[in-house]
Amino acid sequence: MLSTSGVWAQTAEVDAAQRSFSREQAEAYALEHSYAMRGDQLELKRAQAIIWENVALGLPQVGASGNLINNLEIGGQVIELGGQTQFLQFGVQYASGYGLTVDQLLFDGSYVVALLATRIVEETAQNTYEQTAINTKANVAQAYHLVLITERSLEINRESIRFLEQSLNETRALLEQGFVEQTDVDQLALLLSNLQSNADYLENQAGIARSLLKTHMGIPINETIQLTDDIESLMVFSQDGTALLGEEFDVQNHIDYRVLETGIEGQRLNLRNEQVQWLPKINGFYQYNYNYQSPTFGALYDENDPSSFSFPSSNIGIAVRWDLFQGGRRFARTQEARVRLDQLEIQQEMVTAALQTEYQSARSEYTYALSNLLSQQQNTRLAKDIRDRTSIKYNEGVASSLEFSQAERQYQDALQQQIRSYQNVLNTRLELEKVLGKFNLETTTNNTEE
pLDDT in tens, the chain (450 residues): 344 434 344 444 444 445 899 999 999 999 999 999 999 999 889 999 988 988 898 899 999 999 999 988 888 888 887 778 888 878 888 899 999 999 999 999 898 998 999 999 999 999 999 999 999 999 999 999 999 999 999 998 998 899 889 888 988 888 888 877 888 889 889 989 999 999 999 999 999 999 999 999 999 999 999 999 988 888 877 777 778 888 899 999 999 999 999 999 999 999 999 999 889 999 999 999 999 888 888 777 777 777 788 889 999 999 999 888 877 888 898 999 999 999 999 999 999 999 999 999 999 999 999 999 999 999 999 999 999 999 888 888 888 878 888 898 899 889 989 999 999 999 999 999 999 999 998 755 444 444
Residues 6+ apart with CB under 8 A from 279: 107, 109, 322
| Nearest to 270, CA basis, from 125, 121, 126, 127 | 121
Query: pTM here?
Result: 0.80
Out of 1.20.1600.10, 1.10.760.10, 3.90.480.20, 1.20.1070.10, the CATH code matching 23-57+108-280+328-449 is 1.20.1600.10
| Nearest to 234, CA basis, from 28, 420, 426 | 426
Burial classification of residue 239, based on how many CB atoms lie within 10 Å of its CB (0-12 exposed, 13-18 middle, 19 or more buried): middle
Domain map of the chain by residue range?
23-57+108-280+328-449, 61-107+282-321
CA–CA distance, 91 with 30 (Å, rounded to integer): 72
Length, in residues, of the chain: 450
Angle between helices 109-176 and 329-395 (to 10 degrees): 10
CA–CA distance, 81 with 102 (Å, rounded to integer): 43
| Nearest to 151, CA basis, from 63, 244, 229 | 229
SS3 65: strand
